[in-house]
Structure 1
Amino acid sequence: MSINPMLYETQFFGFTPQTCMLRIYIAFQDYLFEVMVAVEKVILKKVGSIPDCNMSAVQVRSSTETFLRFMRERFNRLFVKMEQVLLQLVLRIPPNILLPEDRSHRKYPQSREEFCLLQQEVGQLQLRYKAELGAKHALLAELEVQKVVQAQLRKTLLWFDGLGDARGTLGLGEMMAFLTQHSGRLRSITEDITQKSKKVMAQ
């Protein structure tokens, strides 16, 4: 039997050509044995019907086994030639033939090194995507916090505006100095939060 692995043929057929040949060989051997058993029964029946025949069943069995060995030797020689023909011509895929799932390799003949580099690049892109996704989630969480702070700042500004109306002209100078000092700061914080919110939403 051939020891060539014939991997491409195995991929195409779904079984190894050597296994196919082995099954054919066993099937022929079994059939030859069954034929010889049937022939032996016929011979024994004929011998039993011949008067004064001195041939015993043991002699018939010995002759049958001798003939079976002769036939097996001839069959083994014939099978070697048949195996060569089947493995080289029938069960072999020519080197210029590609399976449908392998045709992309002809169109994109990257080497193993190029494939490894592509795999590394894909891995790096996946890591960058995960990092950016995590940063976006963090920014969105910060945006939610900033919305709450912004709402509180707006309430504070409204309170300052209402405070001026309630105090009237009494202590107006002190109130205006206080408002000027803190209101501008609060407005700059509010604008900063608004800008950050726009950047987060744009991502």
Structure 2
Amino acid sequence: MSVDPMAYEAQFFGFTPQTCMLRVYIAFQDYLFEVMLVVEGVMLKKLDGIPGCKISPSRIRKCTEKFLLFMKEHFDKLFTTMEEVLLQLVLNIPKNVVLPEDRVQEQHRYSQEEFQALQDEVQQLQQQCRAEAAMEQALRAELEEQKVVQAELEKILQCFDGLENICREHGAGNFKESFALLTQSCKKLQDVLKDVEEKSKKIELYDQLM
């Protein structure tokens, strides 16, 4: 079999020419074996019809195998010649022929430097795409956090609305004003509590000294 990979022919035909020739060889060889078995069977039937025939079936088998080996040797020689003809004339694409899908490369040739520049540009674009994907993921995460915060704020606003309705029902006036007064009262209470705690500490210190 040929050792030439014939990659261009494989691109055109959709199969390697060597594979095609191998299948043809196997098909012919199998057919030769089948024919020899048929011939052997016919010879055995003929011998059974001859009275007093001293030729045994085992001898017929040896003769069949010997003839098969002879035929196979000649067939291999013939097939080698046929393979050379088919691979060179039938399944071979001349060097000056360009397939339609490769004509673009013939029309637009580029140097090694240009190819390297294209590769560098592709790598830069890939890095930009990865950076944009990471940024998009971060923005999505931040958006989810904002949705959670917005939901909590809506709950707080609903709570304030409920308190304001309660204040109106009990005649407390504007909730915002009431809340401001409540805040001032709490601040005053905290100041008073702080003053009481300081005076309590002074009294305790005085008692200890006494």
Q: CA deviation at 1:44?
A: 0.4
Instruction: Give the paired residue count.
Output: 134
Q: Which of the pair has more CA radius of gyration?
A: 2
Aligned twin of 1:80: 80
Q: Deviation of residue 126 (structure 1)?
A: 7.2
Give 1:112 shift: 3.4
Question: Where does 1:1-203 land on structure 2 (aligned, <5 Å)?
Answer: 1-124=1-124
1:45 Cα deviation after fit: 0.5
Render the CA deviation track for 1:66-120: whole Å, top value 9, x for unaligned. 1000000000000000010111111111111111110001101113332121232
RMSD of aligned alpha carbons? 2.4
Which stretches of structure 1, 4 residues or longer, exceed 4 Å deviation after superposition?
122-131
Helix, strand or coil for the counterpart of 1:95?
Answer: coil
Measured in 2, the distance between the counterparts of 1:117 and 1:65 equals 66
- Separation (CA, whole Å) in 2 of partners of 1:125 and 1:38: 69
- Aligned-pair identity (%): 61
Equivalent in the alignment of 2:176: none
When residues 45 and 125 of structure 1 are mapped into structure 2, their CA distance, relative to the original with a 3 A threshold, is closer
- Return closer, same or farther for 1:130/1:32 CA change in 2, 3 Å cut-off: closer
Unpaired runs of 5+ in structure 1?
Answer: 135-203
SS at match of 2:104: helix
* Residues 118/57 of structure 1: CA separation in 2 closer, same or farther (3 Å cut): same
Query: What secondary structure sits across from 2:39 in the alignment?
Result: helix
* Equivalent position amino acid for 1:81 in 2: T
In structure 2, the gaps of 5 or more residues are 136-210
Query: 1 or 2 for the larger relative contact order (CA 8 Å, sep ≥6)?
Result: 1
State the 1:15 CA deviation.
Answer: 1.2
Change (3 A) 1:127 1:23: closer
TM-score, normalised by the number of residues in structure 1: 0.60
Distance change >3 Å, CA 60–CA 122, structure 1 → 2: closer
Paired with 2:130 and 2:90, the residues of 1 have a C-alpha distance of 52
Structure 1 residues 126, 40: closer, same or farther in 2, change over 3 A? closer
**TM-score, scaled to structure 2:** 0.58
Distance 1:116 1:66 in 2: 63
1:129/1:4 CA distance change after superposition, 3 Å: closer
CA–CA distance in structure 2, aligned partners of residues 120 and 110 of structure 1? 15
SS at 1:5 equivalent: coil
